[in-house]
A and B are shown apart, each in its own frame.
Chain A
Amino acid sequence: MTPLALNRRNLLIAGGSVLASGVLAAGTSGLLLPARAEGLTPTESMTGGANNYRKGAPIVERIGKGGFWMSGTVRRAGDGAPLAGQRIQIWAHTVEGQEHEPQSHGATLTDKDGAFRLEMPQIIPIFGQPHGHLAYDSGEFKTVFLRPIMRSAKDTSLKAHFVLQPA
Protein backbone atom coordinates (compact mmCIF):
# COMPACT_ATOMS: atom_id res chain seq x y z
CA MET A 1 0.00 0.00 0.00
CA THR A 2 1.39 3.37 -0.89
CA PRO A 3 1.09 5.83 1.94
CA LEU A 4 -0.98 8.90 1.08
CA ALA A 5 1.42 11.86 1.21
CA LEU A 6 -0.38 14.87 2.59
CA ASN A 7 2.12 17.59 1.82
CA ARG A 8 1.66 21.15 0.62
CA ARG A 9 2.41 20.38 -3.03
CA ASN A 10 -0.18 17.59 -3.27
CA LEU A 11 -2.82 19.67 -1.58
CA LEU A 12 -2.20 22.60 -3.92
CA ILE A 13 -2.44 20.34 -6.97
CA ALA A 14 -5.65 18.74 -5.70
CA GLY A 15 -7.19 22.08 -4.83
CA GLY A 16 -6.17 23.56 -8.16
CA SER A 17 -7.71 20.73 -10.15
CA VAL A 18 -11.00 20.98 -8.25
CA LEU A 19 -11.06 24.72 -8.92
CA ALA A 20 -10.21 24.24 -12.60
CA SER A 21 -12.92 21.63 -13.18
CA GLY A 22 -15.44 23.91 -11.48
CA VAL A 23 -14.47 26.87 -13.66
CA LEU A 24 -14.48 24.67 -16.75
CA ALA A 25 -17.95 23.31 -15.98
CA ALA A 26 -19.36 26.79 -15.36
CA GLY A 27 -17.66 28.10 -18.49
CA THR A 28 -18.90 25.40 -20.83
CA SER A 29 -22.47 25.50 -19.55
CA GLY A 30 -22.45 29.28 -20.15
CA LEU A 31 -21.10 28.79 -23.66
CA LEU A 32 -23.55 26.07 -24.52
CA LEU A 33 -26.65 27.92 -23.27
CA PRO A 34 -27.50 29.92 -26.45
CA ALA A 35 -27.10 26.80 -28.62
CA ARG A 36 -29.88 24.88 -26.91
CA ALA A 37 -32.90 23.73 -28.91
CA GLU A 38 -35.12 26.75 -28.14
CA GLY A 39 -32.35 29.13 -29.30
CA LEU A 40 -31.94 32.80 -28.47
CA THR A 41 -34.83 33.93 -26.25
CA PRO A 42 -36.69 37.15 -27.14
CA THR A 43 -36.12 40.30 -25.09
CA GLU A 44 -38.98 41.14 -22.73
CA SER A 45 -40.17 44.73 -22.39
CA MET A 46 -38.86 46.33 -19.19
CA THR A 47 -41.23 47.77 -16.59
CA GLY A 48 -41.61 51.49 -17.16
CA GLY A 49 -39.97 51.15 -20.58
CA ALA A 50 -42.91 52.68 -22.45
CA ASN A 51 -43.25 55.70 -20.14
CA ASN A 52 -43.51 59.00 -22.04
CA TYR A 53 -43.33 57.21 -25.43
CA ARG A 54 -44.46 59.31 -28.41
CA LYS A 55 -45.28 57.05 -31.31
CA GLY A 56 -43.67 57.86 -34.64
CA ALA A 57 -40.76 60.14 -33.79
CA PRO A 58 -38.84 61.06 -36.99
CA ILE A 59 -35.65 59.30 -38.10
CA VAL A 60 -32.87 61.79 -37.39
CA GLU A 61 -29.10 62.13 -37.92
CA ARG A 62 -28.77 63.19 -34.29
CA ILE A 63 -31.12 64.20 -31.46
CA GLY A 64 -30.51 67.85 -30.57
CA LYS A 65 -26.88 68.90 -30.22
CA GLY A 66 -25.61 65.42 -29.35
CA GLY A 67 -22.67 64.55 -27.07
CA PHE A 68 -24.01 61.20 -25.80
CA TRP A 69 -24.16 57.90 -27.68
CA MET A 70 -26.98 55.37 -27.49
CA SER A 71 -26.12 52.13 -29.28
CA GLY A 72 -27.07 48.48 -29.47
CA THR A 73 -28.06 45.59 -31.70
CA VAL A 74 -31.26 44.06 -33.04
CA ARG A 75 -31.36 40.29 -33.62
CA ARG A 76 -33.96 37.68 -34.38
CA ALA A 77 -35.08 35.31 -31.65
CA GLY A 78 -34.09 31.70 -32.18
CA ASP A 79 -31.19 31.83 -34.63
CA GLY A 80 -29.88 35.24 -33.50
CA ALA A 81 -29.60 36.55 -37.07
CA PRO A 82 -28.91 40.32 -37.23
CA LEU A 83 -31.91 42.33 -38.40
CA ALA A 84 -31.06 45.16 -40.80
CA GLY A 85 -33.17 48.28 -41.45
CA GLN A 86 -35.15 48.07 -38.20
CA ARG A 87 -36.46 51.32 -36.75
CA ILE A 88 -35.46 51.93 -33.11
CA GLN A 89 -36.88 54.94 -31.29
CA ILE A 90 -34.89 56.56 -28.50
CA TRP A 91 -35.87 59.13 -25.86
CA ALA A 92 -34.70 60.31 -22.43
CA HIS A 93 -34.56 63.26 -20.08
CA THR A 94 -31.49 65.12 -21.32
CA VAL A 95 -29.77 68.47 -20.91
CA GLU A 96 -31.96 69.67 -23.79
CA GLY A 97 -35.39 68.61 -22.62
CA GLN A 98 -37.68 66.49 -20.50
CA GLU A 99 -38.66 62.95 -21.37
CA HIS A 100 -42.12 63.75 -22.74
CA GLU A 101 -41.02 66.69 -24.91
CA PRO A 102 -40.84 66.09 -28.69
CA GLN A 103 -37.26 67.37 -29.02
CA SER A 104 -36.11 64.58 -26.67
CA HIS A 105 -37.28 61.90 -29.13
CA GLY A 106 -35.69 60.51 -32.29
CA ALA A 107 -35.34 57.30 -34.25
CA THR A 108 -32.64 55.50 -36.24
CA LEU A 109 -32.32 52.38 -38.41
CA THR A 110 -30.10 49.35 -37.86
CA ASP A 111 -27.27 48.71 -40.35
CA LYS A 112 -26.60 45.42 -42.20
CA ASP A 113 -25.09 43.91 -39.02
CA GLY A 114 -28.22 44.75 -37.02
CA ALA A 115 -26.38 47.49 -35.11
CA PHE A 116 -27.69 50.98 -34.36
CA ARG A 117 -26.03 54.05 -32.95
CA LEU A 118 -27.62 57.47 -32.40
CA GLU A 119 -26.06 60.60 -30.96
CA MET A 120 -28.25 62.50 -28.50
CA PRO A 121 -27.85 65.09 -25.73
CA GLN A 122 -26.35 63.99 -22.38
CA ILE A 123 -28.84 61.97 -20.31
CA ILE A 124 -29.33 63.30 -16.80
CA PRO A 125 -30.74 61.41 -13.80
CA ILE A 126 -34.48 61.84 -13.40
CA PHE A 127 -36.90 60.04 -11.10
CA GLY A 128 -33.91 58.85 -9.12
CA GLN A 129 -32.04 56.98 -11.85
CA PRO A 130 -30.01 58.02 -14.90
CA HIS A 131 -31.79 56.04 -17.63
CA GLY A 132 -32.80 56.03 -21.28
CA HIS A 133 -35.76 54.60 -23.20
CA LEU A 134 -35.77 52.62 -26.45
CA ALA A 135 -38.61 51.14 -28.45
CA TYR A 136 -39.04 48.72 -31.31
CA ASP A 137 -42.63 49.31 -32.43
CA SER A 138 -42.90 48.74 -36.19
CA GLY A 139 -45.33 45.83 -36.34
CA GLU A 140 -43.30 43.12 -38.11
CA PHE A 141 -42.02 41.82 -34.78
CA LYS A 142 -43.56 42.03 -31.32
CA THR A 143 -43.20 45.49 -29.73
CA VAL A 144 -40.41 45.82 -27.14
CA PHE A 145 -39.76 48.76 -24.80
CA LEU A 146 -36.41 48.95 -22.99
CA ARG A 147 -35.31 51.18 -20.12
CA PRO A 148 -31.54 50.68 -19.57
CA ILE A 149 -29.87 52.35 -16.57
CA MET A 150 -26.46 54.06 -16.70
CA ARG A 151 -23.83 52.76 -14.26
CA SER A 152 -22.91 56.35 -13.47
CA ALA A 153 -24.67 59.63 -14.19
CA LYS A 154 -21.36 60.78 -15.74
CA ASP A 155 -21.37 58.08 -18.45
CA THR A 156 -21.53 59.47 -21.99
CA SER A 157 -22.88 56.34 -23.64
CA LEU A 158 -25.42 53.61 -23.04
CA LYS A 159 -26.14 50.28 -24.75
CA ALA A 160 -29.35 48.30 -25.19
CA HIS A 161 -29.94 45.11 -27.19
CA PHE A 162 -33.10 43.76 -28.78
CA VAL A 163 -33.92 40.13 -29.59
CA LEU A 164 -37.24 40.23 -31.46
CA GLN A 165 -39.86 37.58 -32.08
CA PRO A 166 -42.43 37.62 -34.90
CA ALA A 167 -45.63 39.46 -33.98
Chain B
Amino acid sequence: MAAFVLALVVGALFALGTFLLLRRDLIRVVWGLAIISQAANVYLLTAGGIVRGTFESVPVLAGHGEGAPETADPLVQALVLTAIVIGFGMTAFALVLSYRVYEEHGTLDVSELGRGRDRGDRE
Protein backbone atom coordinates (compact mmCIF):
# COMPACT_ATOMS: atom_id res chain seq x y z
CA MET B 1 0.00 0.00 0.00
CA ALA B 2 1.51 3.27 -1.06
CA ALA B 3 1.95 5.77 1.74
CA PHE B 4 0.37 8.79 0.11
CA VAL B 5 0.28 11.29 2.97
CA LEU B 6 3.82 10.55 4.06
CA ALA B 7 4.99 10.77 0.44
CA LEU B 8 3.44 14.23 0.21
CA VAL B 9 5.19 15.31 3.39
CA VAL B 10 8.58 13.91 2.34
CA GLY B 11 8.22 15.50 -1.11
CA ALA B 12 7.32 18.89 0.39
CA LEU B 13 10.23 18.79 2.85
CA PHE B 14 12.66 17.81 0.08
CA ALA B 15 11.41 20.66 -2.12
CA LEU B 16 11.71 23.23 0.66
CA GLY B 17 15.14 21.92 1.65
CA THR B 18 16.36 22.09 -1.94
CA PHE B 19 15.12 25.65 -2.26
CA LEU B 20 17.14 26.63 0.81
CA LEU B 21 20.16 24.74 -0.51
CA LEU B 22 20.23 27.04 -3.54
CA ARG B 23 20.25 30.29 -1.51
CA ARG B 24 23.24 32.57 -1.48
CA ASP B 25 23.29 32.85 2.29
CA LEU B 26 25.48 30.06 3.65
CA ILE B 27 23.44 29.80 6.87
CA ARG B 28 20.32 29.09 4.83
CA VAL B 29 22.24 26.43 2.90
CA VAL B 30 22.95 24.70 6.21
CA TRP B 31 19.24 24.88 7.07
CA GLY B 32 18.50 23.27 3.75
CA LEU B 33 20.83 20.41 4.58
CA ALA B 34 19.18 19.97 7.98
CA ILE B 35 15.67 19.86 6.48
CA ILE B 36 16.70 17.38 3.80
CA SER B 37 18.23 15.04 6.35
CA GLN B 38 15.05 15.23 8.45
CA ALA B 39 13.04 14.35 5.36
CA ALA B 40 15.33 11.45 4.55
CA ASN B 41 14.85 10.09 8.08
CA VAL B 42 11.09 10.27 7.74
CA TYR B 43 11.38 8.48 4.43
CA LEU B 44 13.50 5.69 5.92
CA LEU B 45 11.00 5.15 8.71
CA THR B 46 8.16 5.13 6.21
CA ALA B 47 9.94 2.51 4.13
CA GLY B 48 9.82 0.17 7.15
CA GLY B 49 6.12 0.77 7.61
CA ILE B 50 4.46 3.12 10.06
CA VAL B 51 2.73 1.28 12.85
CA ARG B 52 0.50 3.22 15.21
CA GLY B 53 2.11 3.51 18.57
CA THR B 54 0.65 1.08 21.10
CA PHE B 55 2.29 -0.91 23.82
CA GLU B 56 2.50 -3.95 21.54
CA SER B 57 3.99 -2.22 18.53
CA VAL B 58 6.98 -0.51 20.14
CA PRO B 59 9.99 -2.71 19.39
CA VAL B 60 10.60 -3.48 23.02
CA LEU B 61 9.92 -7.04 24.11
CA ALA B 62 7.61 -7.30 27.14
CA GLY B 63 9.78 -9.71 29.10
CA HIS B 64 12.65 -12.10 28.84
CA GLY B 65 12.06 -15.28 26.89
CA GLU B 66 8.55 -14.49 25.77
CA GLY B 67 7.48 -14.78 22.15
CA ALA B 68 8.12 -11.83 19.90
CA PRO B 69 5.09 -9.55 19.57
CA GLU B 70 4.16 -7.87 16.25
CA THR B 71 6.42 -4.86 16.45
CA ALA B 72 7.26 -2.03 14.13
CA ASP B 73 10.39 -2.71 12.08
CA PRO B 74 13.32 -2.32 14.50
CA LEU B 75 15.87 -2.40 11.69
CA VAL B 76 14.85 0.92 10.11
CA GLN B 77 14.66 2.47 13.56
CA ALA B 78 18.24 1.47 14.24
CA LEU B 79 19.23 2.92 10.88
CA VAL B 80 17.38 6.18 11.49
CA LEU B 81 18.83 6.51 14.95
CA THR B 82 22.30 6.33 13.45
CA ALA B 83 21.25 8.79 10.76
CA ILE B 84 19.96 11.31 13.30
CA VAL B 85 23.25 11.30 15.18
CA ILE B 86 25.35 11.55 12.03
CA GLY B 87 23.05 14.32 10.79
CA PHE B 88 23.67 16.18 14.01
CA GLY B 89 27.43 15.87 13.56
CA MET B 90 27.14 17.10 10.00
CA THR B 91 24.94 20.09 10.84
CA ALA B 92 27.17 21.16 13.67
CA PHE B 93 30.27 20.88 11.52
CA ALA B 94 28.70 22.71 8.57
CA LEU B 95 27.57 25.48 10.85
CA VAL B 96 30.94 25.99 12.45
CA LEU B 97 32.58 25.78 9.04
CA SER B 98 30.27 28.58 7.87
CA TYR B 99 31.24 30.60 10.89
CA ARG B 100 34.91 30.11 10.10
CA VAL B 101 34.28 31.10 6.48
CA TYR B 102 32.68 34.29 7.74
CA GLU B 103 35.66 34.97 9.97
CA GLU B 104 38.12 34.44 7.11
CA HIS B 105 36.29 36.22 4.31
CA GLY B 106 33.93 38.58 6.07
CA THR B 107 30.92 37.38 4.09
CA LEU B 108 28.53 34.46 3.92
CA ASP B 109 27.42 35.10 0.35
CA VAL B 110 28.18 31.92 -1.56
CA SER B 111 28.34 33.73 -4.90
CA GLU B 112 30.88 36.19 -3.63
CA LEU B 113 32.91 33.37 -2.11
CA GLY B 114 32.90 31.56 -5.46
CA ARG B 115 34.05 34.64 -7.30
CA GLY B 116 36.72 35.16 -4.69
CA ARG B 117 38.06 31.72 -5.50
CA ASP B 118 38.36 32.66 -9.16
CA ARG B 119 40.20 35.82 -8.28
CA GLY B 120 42.54 33.81 -6.10
CA ASP B 121 43.27 31.50 -9.03
CA ARG B 122 44.15 34.32 -11.34
CA GLU B 123 46.43 36.09 -8.97
Is B truly associated with A? no
Which residues does A use to contact B, with CB under 8 Å? none
